[in-house]
Structure 1
Amino acid sequence: MRQTEEERIRIRELLDRDVIMTLLTIFGIIAVIVGAIVYFFFTYTIPFGKVAVIIDPMAKSMSQPIIGPTWGFKAPWAYIIQDDTGVQAVDMFSEPPRDYPAVSALTRDGVQIDVDITIRYKIIPDKFDVLVKNYPTLNYEEDFIVANARQVVREVISNFTMTDILEQRTVIARAIEDKLSAVIKRDPVVAQCIDLLGVNVRNIKLPDSIIQAINDKIASQQKAIKAEYDRQATIIQANATAQALIIQTQGQAQAMLELAKAQSESIKLIANATAGVPREVVAYFFQLEIMKQLAQSKATIIYTTSGQMTPLIQIPQQAQQNG
């Protein structure tokens, strides 16, 4: 009977310990839940590169701009609106990736083109509350910047012809940037909240028919240039050939002159050595040259003379032997 009482006491102690552990567990879970509720509903965190305001709909109030990184407490029903403080870029392109479509505009001579532009800007953090008051959904980019950029691009393009646009892209980009900057400065809200950093004209897309015409013109110009090059090359080659022929002819003439001088000297020497008449020596000389050339051609030669001709070189008559 005594052991049974000890067992009961031990069981009671174990039960009390289990109850305590269960209660501690429940209290821990409740503490975690409360902590999570407090964290999610009573605190806020603003990361680096962000600016935010806290909106209290019950009090109908808005906090001053809060620049991250930071954290703090707020009412559980209040909510946060935040935006980037860094440089933001709006791409308005004909092809993806893009934020908005390109700007379609008419030139002064009635050609429809598509202009790809990039707008760079940043918000002024200290004036973020003013921006939120006027653009609660932060739609200032689409409703103001993009909308006015389209209007500005169309107005600027309308002052230039298609040829001017192709040749003066830098001038056009500067005109668009200056005009859009002026529009922003005239707006009482955006002027104090947005800082325009620049507008870049990325591409100007012409109609396919215009591009084909330009390509055809370039091809024609290239053909004309090639034809002119070929003509000049032909002239240069002809001049070189003519010059070479002149030099060759002059060389041949000089050679013939030298040959004639040599032949003249040879004839004089033969005439002096044989005591012959120079005129007859010349005749014999050329007869021999002709015979030499005919002999080289391996032709049959029959040589006849008329009348009596005194030989250039007297050959002595040999006495006949044995009668």
Structure 2
Amino acid sequence: EEKKMNIVPSLILLVFAGIGATLIYRKYRKYQESGERLDDKELYSLGVQVFILVVLALLMLSSFTTVEIGYGAIVVDPILQQVRGPFLGEAWWFRTPWTRVVRIYYATLSTEMWTDVVENRTIMGEYPSVKVLSKDGLKIEVDILIRYTLIPEKLIELYRKYPDLRYEDKAISSVVREDIRDVVSNYTTLEVIEKRESLSDEMTTTILSSLTDDDTLMGALADIQIDLRNIELPQAFMDAVTRKQGAEQKKLQAEHERATLLIQADATAREAIRIAEGDAESALIRANATLEALRMISQAIDPTVYYSLQQLEAIAPNIEYLILTTGEEGVPILLTP
């Protein structure tokens, strides 16, 4: 279909050229067969006819209009003071030669407001990033991207408001900048970092409402999407935040080490208590055993003999054997200390 549309102007020109050539040829054959020569009047008449045919062909070509996919064409008639359309692409039609066609792209459009530095070169979108002041007076740069489409039925109204079609410069970009300034001014610089998601949601809601309700845009915007690309904070502030985070990290590390030492000290103390309790229990067991042994010895022999043995062992610990006599008959007893 596109090829057919592109060949139509050539076909029209070919038809008119063929008609003109046919008339000239028939005139020429007529005079050739009769042997007569064309006088000046007849040559003038033939020239006028050819001129008229050429003019008509040019008018037909200028009246033939096409519009591509994604565009809406508006026909402006200055004589009748009318605006007709929109004619949505892909399409073609004939119009009166004195009318003017305004083509407006209505498919997906975007307004890019951002600034980047790449290899010491500053690059930007259609507009630079939005420079605003936070609640505490620090300068912040916001990069944002707005995507939208135009409602075809609203193209004529939009054209009447913006005949130069500079609605993006005069309305969209200014509305976005104003809304960003209003929203960011309610946040401190630290809150911009901590509440970025909340800030983004509020910014999106505010811009969406403003673009939808703007009187000059005539409600022509649809499918509005807002992408908060980046928030650039002052370098001095970021350095201060980095230092603060480093100090907090060191503080947390020190607290962790202190807690570890306390846990280790507590474990050591508990172990010492456990050992002491074990030693005390062992001593108690030994004391009870000694007491029981004394009781048994006192029942078997004279206690004074046992005490004497204990004293001898203390005086001469290397004695291996000891012979004692006890009782009336003096029966000898072999003792091993």
Q: What is the distance in 1 between the residues matched to 2:127 and 2:153?
A: 28
Which SS does the other structure have where 1:100 is aligned? Answer: coil
Q: What is the distance in 2 between the residues matched to 1:143 and 1:189?
A: 10
Counterpart mapping for 1:80-95 below 5 A? 80-95=101-116
Structure 2: gaps spanning 5 or more residues? 1-10, 19-56, 117-122, 326-330
Tell me the number of residue pairs that the alignment of Structure 1 and Structure 2 aligns. Answer: 272
Q: 1:225 to 1:287 in 2, by over 3 A?
A: farther
Q: 1:126 to 1:312 in 2, by over 3 A?
A: farther
Q: 1:172 to 1:30 in 2, by over 3 A?
A: closer
2:269 — aligned with what?
Answer: 242
Tell me the C-alpha RMSD between the 2 structures.
3.8
**Which residue among 258, 277, 280 is the counterpart of 1:253?**
280
Q: 1:97 to 1:107 in 2, by over 3 A?
A: closer
Instruction: Render the CA deviation track for 1:116-156: whole Å, top value 9, x for unaligned.
Output: 22223322210101222332342211221002221222233
**Which residue among 128, 140, 147 is the counterpart of 1:120?**
147
1:31 — aligned with what?
Answer: 14
In terms of fraction of residues, the more strand-rich structure is 2
Contact 1:130–1:189 at 8 Å: present in 2 too?
no
Q: 1:193 to 1:273 in 2, by over 3 A?
A: same
Residue 210 in structure 1 maps to residue 237 in structure 2: yes
Q: 1:168 to 1:46 in 2, by over 3 A?
A: same
Counterpart mapping for 1:291-306 below 5 A? 291=317
CA displacement at 1:254 relative to structure 2: 1.6
Contact 2:171–2:216 at 8 Å: present in 1 too?
no
CA displacement at 1:102 relative to structure 2: 1.1
Q: What is the distance in 2 between the residues matched to 1:52 and 1:72?
A: 11
Deviates more, 1:187-196 or 1:234-243: 187-196
Residue 262 in structure 1 maps to residue 289 in structure 2: yes
CA displacement at 1:107 relative to structure 2: 1.6
Q: 1:252 to 1:84 in 2, by over 3 A?
A: farther
Contact 1:108–1:158 at 8 Å: present in 2 too?
yes
Which SS does the other structure have where 1:64 is aligned? Answer: strand
1:227 — aligned with what?
Answer: 254
2:307 — aligned with what?
Answer: 279
1:111 — aligned with what?
Answer: 138
Residue 70 in structure 1 maps to residue 70 in structure 2: no
Structure 1: gaps spanning 5 or more residues? 1-27, 293-302, 304-310, 318-323
Letter in 2 for 1:151: E
Identity of aligned residues (%): 28
CA displacement at 1:238 relative to structure 2: 0.4
Q: What is the distance in 1 between the residues matched to 2:216 and 2:208?
A: 14
Which SS does the other structure have where 1:101 is aligned? Answer: coil
1:152 — aligned with what?
Answer: 179
TM-score by length of 2: 0.66
Letter in 1 for 2:70: G
Letter in 2 for 1:242: A
Structure 1 residue runs of 4 or more that deviate by more than 6 Å after TM superposition: 32-40
Contact 1:49–1:85 at 8 Å: present in 2 too?
yes
1:11 — aligned with what?
Answer: none
Q: What is the distance in 2 between the residues matched to 1:40 and 1:259?
A: 126
Which SS does the other structure have where 1:120 is aligned? Answer: strand
Contact 1:105–1:114 at 8 Å: present in 2 too?
yes
1:201 — aligned with what?
Answer: 228
TM-score by length of 1: 0.68
Deviates more, 1:130-139 or 1:228-237: 130-139
CA displacement at 1:83 relative to structure 2: 3.4
CA displacement at 1:54 relative to structure 2: 3.0
Q: What is the distance in 1 between the residues matched to 2:84 and 2:252?
A: 71
